[in-house]
Amino acid sequence: MFDCPNCKEALGDDIQICPFCRHEITDHERVLIEKARREEARNASSEESYRASEFSTLRLLWQMVTVATAVLTIIVFNILLFADFVMAALVVLIAGLTLLVIENVYFQVFKKANSCPHCGGYLFRSHGTMCQWCGGKIR
């Protein structure tokens, strides 16, 4: 399928003359259309890899924050425990564990809210109305 260069109506690949505007599709125009298709496919492929790397960066950041929260909680808990501040140590431990749970729940909800209902792929803010991974309609 391609669009007529004259009237922009969708045409089949084997059409020689546009049935809408009677424009004759030349071999040169077919070459240009095929070149544009290849360029569009190349751009879509590079955009997908960029979005995938962006999501992996987001996931890495979330993992680093989770590990940092856990390590900081354990360090402060041990310092307070060895300084004989048992109640303060327990409060820090409970607060740290609560923060870890909140971080994980937030990330899961954030991921679910920004996922394609068809393929489950992560959608970025500029996804529009179609999924960039499977092409399914989102809204």
Tell me: the pLDDT tens digits for 67-80?
A: 999 999 999 999 99
Collapsing DSSP states into helix, strand and coil, what is residue 9?
coil
Per-residue pLDDT at 127 exceeds 60? no
Instruction: Return the pLDDT at 75.
Output: 94
Q: Which residues of 36-75 are buried (b: 16+ CB within 10 A; e: fewer)?
A: eeeeeeeeeeeeeeebeeebeeeeeebeeeeeebeeebee
Tell me the pLDDT tens digit for each residue of 33-60. 888 888 877 766 666 677 677 777 878 8
Q: Rounded mean pLDDT of the chain? A: 82
Look at residue 1 in the predicted model and tell me its pLDDT.
74
pTM over 0.85: no
Contact 123/115 with Cβ under 8 angstroms? Answer: yes
pLDDT of residue 125: 61
| pLDDT for residue 137 is more than 60 | yes
**Structure confidence at residue 103 as a pLDDT band (50, 70, 90):** confident
Per-residue confidence (pLDDT) for residue 93, from 0 to 100: 92
